[in-house]
Structure 1
Amino acid sequence: MAKRNNENLSIADALKEFVETNRLEQGLNAINVQDAWQNMMGNGVNNYTTAIQLKGEILYVQLSSSVLREELSYGKEKIVTMLNDHLGKQIIKEIVLR
Structure 2
Amino acid sequence: MAKRIKENLSISDALKEFVSENKLEKGLDKVNVADAWAKLMGNGVNNYTTAIQLERETLYIQLSSSVLREELSYGKQKIIDMLNEELGKTVIKKLILR
Query: For the superposition of Structure 1 and Structure 2, which TM-score range results when normalised by the shorter chain?
Result: over 0.9
Shift of 1:8: 1.5
Query: C-alpha distance in 2, partners of 1:9/1:40?
Result: 33
Match of 2:42 in 1: 42
TM-score, normalising length from structure 1? 0.94
**C-alpha RMSD over aligned residues:** 0.9
Q: Distance in 1 between matches of 2:53 and 2:25?
A: 15
> Counterpart in 2 of 1:7?
7
Note the 1:1-98 alignment, pairs <5 A. Answer: 1-98=1-98
Q: Report the alpha carbon displacement of residue 7 of structure 1 after superposing the two structures with TM.
A: 1.9
Amino acid at match of 1:15: L
TM superposition shift of 1:30: 0.8
Shift of 1:72: 0.7
Identity %: 71
More displaced, 32-41 or 8-17?
8-17
Write out per-residue CA displacement over residues 30-81 of structure 1, whole angstroms, 9 at most, x where no aligned residue: 1111001001001111000000011111101001111111111111000001
User: Secondary structure at 1:7's aligned position in 2?
Assistant: coil
Q: Which runs of 4+ in 1 moved over 3 A?
A: none
TM-score scaled by length of structure 2: 0.94
- Tell me how far apart the structure 2 counterparts of residues 2 and 58 of structure 1 sit (CA, whole Å): 35
